Amino acid sequence: MLFIVKVLILVSMIKIVLNTDRPAMCAGIYTAIGMIFGLALGKGILFVLVAGLIGYLLALLYFWLLTRTQESALFWVIAVVGALIGLV
């Protein structure tokens, strides 16, 4: 169930970043949702904060790369590899 939710959130964020060209906003939303899930699943606050910071930086890089490679074939490589890494 959680896997399906992660896929839907990631696909939604990719769609939003491609329409708005605002990778920081999408990375923030994606990270906030992940942090809420972490707290809801009983993770410690320090763990959630550190994971959130690392997750934000990686998500920012991912969404930024997607916006910069929209018009090339490299877009699909970044989208698939990043999605696989993010969903694990």
- For the segment 24-54, what is each residue's pLDDT rounded down to a tens digit? 999 999 999 999 999 999 999 999 999 999 9
Residue predicted with more confidence, 16 or 1: 16
Tell me the pLDDT tens digit for each residue of 6-32: 888 988 999 999 999 999 999 999 999
Sign of CA dihedral 33, 36, 42, 45: positive
Q: What is the reported pLDDT for 7? A: 84
DSSP summary character for residue 70: T
Q: What's the CA gap between 53 and 40, in Å, rounded?
A: 18
DSSP string, 2-35: HHHHHHHHHHHHHHHHHHH--HHHHHHHHHHHHH
Provide φ and ψ at 21, rounded to 5°: 60, 40
Tell me the pLDDT tens digit for each residue of 55-77: 999 999 999 999 999 889 899 99
